[in-house]
Amino acid sequence: MTVLALEIGASGFAASRIADDVDTDDIRRIPIPAAGAWAKCQELLLEVAGGAEVTDLGIASAGPIDMAAGVIAPSDVPEWRTGFGIVEAARKLFPKARVPLALDGVCLALAERNFGSTGGVMDSLVLGVSERITGGVAVGGFVVVGRTGNAGHVGHVLVPGFDERCDCGGRGCLEAVAGGLAMVRWAREQGWAGATVPELLDAARVGEDIPAAALGRAGTALGRAIASVAALLDLDLVVLGGSLAEAGPALWKPLGEAVATHARLSFLPGLRVVPSQLGDVATIMGAGVLALSGMTA
């Protein structure tokens, strides 16, 4: 039995072979190719397969996806923006494999439930905040997949007090304020000279005003969105992962203040927002859980 996991993310692709305990030590990563995305993805998969006959391939993809059709349309992979049949393509590459596909946020929720902070918790929200924002919710002990596989798009929860244009075509979405790419865009409009999310986080860490302000806005927006979702789903645990979760008090302080201000209903005072302990392997671990679960659309 050879099990692989594949992550199609906002800034790159990752693949790993998966052992029984979802050991992902040997993850290979590549940036999103300017062209030939599937060819590069195939190379990556064949490299991690190492000539073995693949029996299961779990795919975690940035959204939107069409789970039943096996199609993904991640906005950061130009060739695939209008839809790519990744499950069919993967079955051609590995004819004997089962190929379950899920939203990256759903995979985060699976990883947290199996290896992270939400094990044994019936109802929770897991957020992944880096270049973009994804999420997964568990309700009544089940990770919610949704009608088309897209439940968990918490980056498009609306946040009061912000009216930024979002890449989805709407306005005022959480991702348009607190997604890393949006934060970089905002900081540059304010006169900051950097260009990437890691640069922005480093600059905030050493106290540069504009990057710190970008994190402050992101923390406030995240806190407001979290309070909304917690009220909707009656939650007491939210896990925050992704590179922004490691931004320290510049993000966490305003986030905590916004949660305290807005999560005021009688069932919400115990609401905890905690950083993920899984680091940047969380999504691919979740794709591994998906692969081992044998779940297919």
Of 22 and 182, the one with the shorter C-beta distance to Zn ion is: 182
Residue type, 257: E
Q: How many residues bind Zn ion (CB under 5 A)?
A: 5
CA distance 104 to 61: 5
Site for Zn ion in 57-116 (CB under 5 A): none
| Stretch touching Zn ion by CB under 5 A, among 28-36, 40-48, 165-173, 283-291 | 165-173
CB of 119 to Zn ion, least distance (A): 31
Of 159 and 230, the one with the shorter C-beta distance to Zn ion is: 159
Closest by Cα among 202, 249, 259, 197 to 227 = 259
Of 64 and 194, the one with the shorter C-beta distance to Zn ion is: 64
174 binds Zn ion, rule: CB under 5 A: no
Encoding tokens for residue 7?
């992550």
Among 46, 168, 233, 274, binds Zn ion (CB under 5 A): 168
Give the DSSP H or E segment for 255. Answer: helix 249-262
173 binds Zn ion, rule: CB under 5 A: yes
CA distance 125 to 143: 9
β-pairing verdict for 56-61 and 3-8: parallel
CB of 271 to Zn ion, least distance (A): 24
156 binds Zn ion, rule: CB under 5 A: yes
CA angle 276, 203, 190 (to 5 degrees): 110
Of 57 and 225, the one with the shorter C-beta distance to Zn ion is: 225
Of 101 and 176, the one with the shorter C-beta distance to Zn ion is: 176
| Stretch touching Zn ion by CB under 5 A, among 89-97, 119-127, 156-164, 234-242 | 156-164
Of 154 and 285, the one with the shorter C-beta distance to Zn ion is: 154
Q: Which residues contact 180 (CB under 8 A, 6 or more apart)?
A: 129, 130, 131, 132, 197, 200, 243, 244
CB of 71 to Zn ion, least distance (A): 20
Encoding tokens for residue 67?
């789970």
CB of 16 to Zn ion, least distance (A): 30
Closest by Cα among 47, 157, 153, 70 to 108 = 153
CB of 229 to Zn ion, least distance (A): 15
166 binds Zn ion, rule: CB under 5 A: yes
CA distance 142 to 126: 13
Query: What residues does 8 pair with on adjacent strands?
Result: 13, 61
Closest by Cα among 108, 105, 127 to 235 = 127
| Stretch touching Zn ion by CB under 5 A, among 32-40, 88-96, 167-175, 187-195 | 167-175
Q: Which pairs with CB-CB distance under 8 Å and at least 24 residues apart come from 170-178?
A: 174/133, 174/221, 174/222, 174/225, 175/132, 175/133, 177/217, 177/218, 177/221, 178/129, 178/133, 178/217, 178/218, 178/219, 178/221, 178/222, 178/225, 178/244
170 binds Zn ion, rule: CB under 5 A: yes
CB of 167 to Zn ion, least distance (A): 7
Instruction: Tell me the per-residue interface mask from 114 to 153 with Zn ion, x by CB under 5 A, - otherwise.
Output: ----------------------------------------
Of 165 and 272, the one with the shorter C-beta distance to Zn ion is: 165
Q: Which residues of the chain form contacts with Zn ion (CB under 5 A)?
A: 156, 166, 168, 170, 173
